[in-house]
Amino acid sequence: MAETTYLEAIRDGLAEEMERDPSVLCLGEDIGAYGGAFKVTEGLLGRFGPDRVIDTPISETGFVGAAAGAAHMGLRPVCEMQFIDFISCAYSILTNYVATVRYRAFLPCPMVVRGPSGGYVRGGPFHSQNPEAAFLHTPGLKIVYPATPADAKGLLKAAIRDDDCVLFFEHKYLYRRIKGTVPAGDYAVPIGQARVARDGRDLSIITYAATVWKALEAAEELEREDGLSVEVLDLRSLLPLDDAAIVATVKKTNRVLIVHEDTMTGGIAGEITARINELAFEWLDAPVRRVAAHDVPLPAAPGLEDFVLPQTADIVAAARWLAAY
């Protein structure tokens, strides 16, 4: 099986779905002839034509709203945010219109909003954001954030086939750094199911997206240097969360570290901590701890960004604290 990058997996998933279902179309800024800021949609214009790969004005509210209208009429639009930082420009129409339209008006709204997310790339405050938690609080949306090429492709297919709006976060740090094998043929990864990225007995790290890879590095180091057996749970889906998988890992290791790249306050780790408290309190041998970004806008300079974001060494140190508790 050939290795493919995380970015190619997304492009392949998109192209295969467009091939399979003529109602799938792409909307976004510079996604046509230019192929998108990161070239995710490169080649799609030539393959599917300008009716299905539509360059839009700079207007996130405009084309997200238009996607919703097209979705009402039976199309399945996939919107690209040039950087996910700009999804905030469409926050109102996503949370007020798109997320509520099935519930209050019974209108179908199958659409995907996807885009390059996350830091570790020296992108500064407006090209590095992780705004997933801003949408976690909105009933009516689904959120996925894959870490591997196989999951990126499989979750994108599931998102496009889902009958509601799915926010598909792609980590730009992983785009070309991460290669992996992807299952042959057509497959979809179900939304709402986490994945055990590494089996372990002594301690669990619950995480998603780029920090899955940092957690795996940390787990290697902890095993090598401390003899600790660390389990890594890759959430993959953030809304809905896989409560069963979270509870299962708590019951297995009894010690939990939650790691995310998003800022600490109001981040998803808080919600996961609350769920563990409610569902598996008596299984804990130590308090649930969080490793997340410091509560500041993300600065650009390498020294600053590295200081603000969680690093592998931070995860190792936190895990040692937890193991010794």
Partner 1 sequence: MASISALSPSVPAPAPAPAGLTRDQLLELYYYMVLTRTLEERLVALYRQARVYGGLFRSLGQEADAVGSAYALDRAQGDVLSPLIRNLGSLLVHGTQPVEVLRQYLATGDSLTRGRDLNIHVGDVGRGFIGQISHLGDLVPVMAGVTLSFKLRRQSRVGLVYVGDGATSTGAFHEGLNFAAVQRCPLVVIVENNGYAYSTPTARQTAAKSFVDKAAGYGVAGGCADGNDVLAVYEVTKEAVDRARRGGGVTLIELVTYRRKGHAEHDSQSYVPAGEIERWATENDPLQRYATRLTQSLGVEPSELTGLEARVRDEIDRATDAAEQSPPPDPSDALVGVHADPPAAPLLWYRRGLRG
Closest Cα to residue 137, out of 239, 56, 269, 251?
A: 239
Among residues 76, 114, 127, 142, the one that binds partner 1 under rule CB under 8 A: 142
In the shown chain, the binding pattern of residues 252 to 291 toward partner 1, with x for contact by CB under 8 A and - for none, equals --------------------------x-------------
Nearer to partner 1, 109 or 212 (CB): 109
Instruction: Give the Cα separation of 99 and 74 in Å (integer).
Output: 17
Q: Could you say which of 21, 46, 92, 281 contacts partner 1 (CB under 8 A)?
A: 92
Is 96 an interacting residue with respect to partner 1 (CB under 8 A)? Answer: yes
Report the run of H or E that residue 78 belongs to, with start and end.
Answer: strand 76-80
Residue 62 is a binding residue for partner 1 (CB under 8 A): yes
106 binds partner 1 (CB under 8 A): yes
Q: How far is the CB of 321 from partner 1 (least distance, A)?
A: 31
Active site residue 127: yes
Residues 28-57 that bind partner 1 (CB under 8 A): 51, 54, 56-57
Of 13, 116, 131, 140, which lies in the binding site for partner 1, with binding defined by CB under 8 A? 140
Sign of the alpha-carbon torsion through 105, 97, 55, 79 = negative
53 close to 26: Cβ distance less than 8 angstroms: yes
Would you say 75 or 300 has its CB closer to partner 1?
75
- The residues, any chain, with a CB within 8 Å of residue 319's CB and separated by 6 or more, are 203, 205, 218, 222, 228, 230, 257
- Helix residue ranges, H only, the chain: 6-20, 44-48, 60-72, 91-92, 101-105, 132-136, 149-161, 210-226, 243-253, 268-280, 302-308, 312-323
Annotated catalytic residues are 127
Contacts to partner 1 by CB under 8 A: 25, 51, 54, 56-57, 59-75, 77, 92-93, 96-97, 100-108, 139-140, 142, 162-164, 240, 278
